[in-house]
């Protein structure tokens, strides 16, 4: 579903070993690791395996957003197919006000483990973990130090750096754009990496930046109309490529690109494959892949193997936890440049900022 990636590695097995080892070592004080730093041990493959009942609570937008939530669901669905898990997914209210209730509903129904998709679940997961100490939880995009919570984190700035390199290299006018859904620290990581990558290619490149809603107002992730208005303005002002990190609002960015006969860069999933409209597929030059599907699946697999929480795991470029999709072949001609940038980050020669 998520398409090709540069320098494919055995991400599933690497991440699986990393997550199980890290989780098994977690204690009440919490911990943090990346795939590249993880110990080599893992939970025993012969650990008794009970019937899995896995609950997942989506972020705003829910299943069908063709991006972040759908990536998480892909990992859940894989657990159903490969681990014989019974699964249940729930979506929050439009304003996300009932996230805690969803977690409790899943816990009371006997689901264990339970996954909250998105940083906005951070506080709700913390409270639920205290109320249900015998249940294992995971939260995507939020760190935790609770003994029964695993934080699934991603190096979004690294993948966005590659998106910036691609955009600057492909831009004919030296003018690109970035649309963020909500102006918070997480989405600013996407902006920071994108800008740094673009400027590494063209130091004087012009980059338009627009956030759809301020921090705390999550409606920016579900406002295609606002995404379209923001991108329309950028294209009218001369941008020829716009990268979005805005969830459902990205559909509006793609619509604006199609109307302007320009290009866009998707996010989280390979959106050239997940967007159904053929006229929109063709405007998506590439997508910054954030392998939430892998994080979700490997957490479930580790739980089945007997691992416990209490740690934070980061999926970075070293294990292809982030990267670029190549569906459509539009960045095939700059593969060498992208591979060089990726290797520089992996080797530590390039430090990617996480803040603008």
Give per-residue burial for 10-40: e unless 16+ CB within 10 Å, then b: ebbebbbbbbbbbbbbbeeebbebbbeebee
What pLDDT shows up at residue 94? 86
Half-sphere exposure of residue 198: CA atoms within 13 angstroms, side-chain side: 26
Judge contact between 226 and 249, C-beta under 8 A.
yes
Domain boundaries, the chain: 11-155+291-319, 156-289+323-346
Tell me how far apart the alpha carbons of residues 138 and 121 are, in angstroms, rounded to a whole number.
10
Cβ atoms of 265 and 284 within 8 Å: the answer is: yes
Low-confidence ranges of the chain (pLDDT < 70): 1-50
Q: Among 288, 278, 229, 286, which Cα is nearest to 253's?
A: 229
pLDDT tens profile 192-229: 999 999 999 999 999 999 999 999 999 999 999 999 99
CATH of 11-155+291-319, one of 1.10.10.350, 3.30.465.10, 3.40.50.2300, 3.40.50.300: 3.40.50.2300
For residue 192, give every residue at least 6 positions away whose Cβ sits within 8 Å of its Cβ, in sequence order, or none.
157, 160, 352, 353, 354, 355, 356
Q: What pLDDT, on a 0 to 100 scale, did the predictor assign at position 7?
A: 37
Res 29: pLDDT: 36
Report the interhelical angle of 68-82 vs 292-304 (nearest 10°): 30
User: Is the Cα dihedral 144, 145, 149, 150 positive or negative?
Assistant: positive
Rg (CA), the chain: 19
Q: What is the reported pLDDT for 10? A: 35
Residues 287 and 270: their CA atoms lie apart, in Å, by: 5
Q: What is the pLDDT at residue 49?
A: 44
Residue 353, judged by CB atoms within 10 A of its CB (0-12, 13-18, 19+), counts as middle
According to the model, what pLDDT value does residue 157 have? 98
Query: Both tokens of residue 186?
Result: 């997480």
Which helix H or strand E contains 104, and what residues bound it? helix 99-108
- Fold that domain 156-289+323-346 belongs to in CATH: Rossmann fold (3.40.50)
Per-residue pLDDT of 99-157, as tens digits, reads 999 999 999 999 999 999 999 999 999 999 999 999 999 999 999 989 999 999 999 99
pTM for this prediction: 0.81
Residue 341: strand, helix, or coil: helix
**Half-sphere exposure of residue 231, counting CA atoms within 13 Å on the CB side?**
36
Topology alike, domains 11-155+291-319 and 156-289+323-346: yes
Tokens of 181: 């859904």
Which ranges in 144-249 belong to alpha helices (H)? 156-170, 185-201, 224-236
Residue pair 241/163 in contact (Cβ under 8 Å)? The answer is no
Which pLDDT belongs to residue 310?
A: 85
């Amino acid at each position: 579903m998520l398409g090709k990636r540069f320098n494919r590695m055995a991400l599933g097995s690497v991440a699986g070993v990393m997550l199980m080892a890290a989780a098994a070592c977690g204690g009440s004080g919490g911990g943090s690791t990346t795939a590249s730093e993880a110990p080599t041990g893992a939970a025993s493959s012969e650990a008794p395996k009970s019937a899995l009942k896995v609950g997942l609570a989506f972020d705003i937008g829910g299943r069908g957003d063709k991006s972040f939530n759908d990536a998480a669901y892909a990992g859940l669905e894989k657990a159903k197919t490969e681990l014989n898990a019974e699964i249940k997914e729930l979506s929050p209210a439009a304003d996300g006000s009932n996230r805690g209730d969803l977690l409790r509903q899943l816990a009371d129904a006997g689901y264990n483990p339970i996954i909250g998709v998105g940083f906005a679940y951070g506080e709700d997961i913390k409270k639920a973990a205290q109320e249900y100490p015998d249940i294992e939880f995971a939260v995507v995009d939020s760190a935790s130090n609770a003994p029964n919570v695993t934080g699934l984190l991603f190096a979004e700035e690294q993948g966005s750096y590659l998106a910036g390199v691609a955009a600057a290299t492909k831009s004919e006018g030296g003018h690109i754009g970035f649309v963020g859904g909500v102006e918070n620290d997480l989405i600013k990581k996407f902006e920071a990496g994108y800008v740094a990558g673009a400027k590494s290619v063209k130091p004087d490149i012009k980059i338009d930046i627009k956030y759809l809603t301020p921090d705390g107002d999550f409606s920016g992730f579900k406002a295609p109309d606002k995404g379209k208005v923001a991108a329309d303005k950028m294209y009218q002002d001369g941008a020829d490529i716009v990268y979005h990190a805005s969830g459902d609002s990205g559909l509006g960015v793609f619509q604006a690109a199609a109307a302007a006969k320009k290009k866009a860069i998707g996010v989280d999933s390979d959106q050239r494959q997940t967007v159904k409209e053929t006229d929109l597929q063709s405007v998506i030059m590439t997508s910054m892949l954030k392998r939430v599907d892998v994080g979700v699946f490997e957490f479930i697999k580790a739980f089945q193997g007997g691992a416990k929480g209490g740690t934070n795991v980061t999926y970075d470029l070293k294990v292809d936890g982030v990267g670029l999709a190549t569906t459509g072949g539009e960045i095939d001609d700059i593969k060498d440049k992208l591979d060089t940038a990726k290797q520089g980050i992996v080797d530590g020669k390039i430090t990617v900022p996480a803040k603008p």
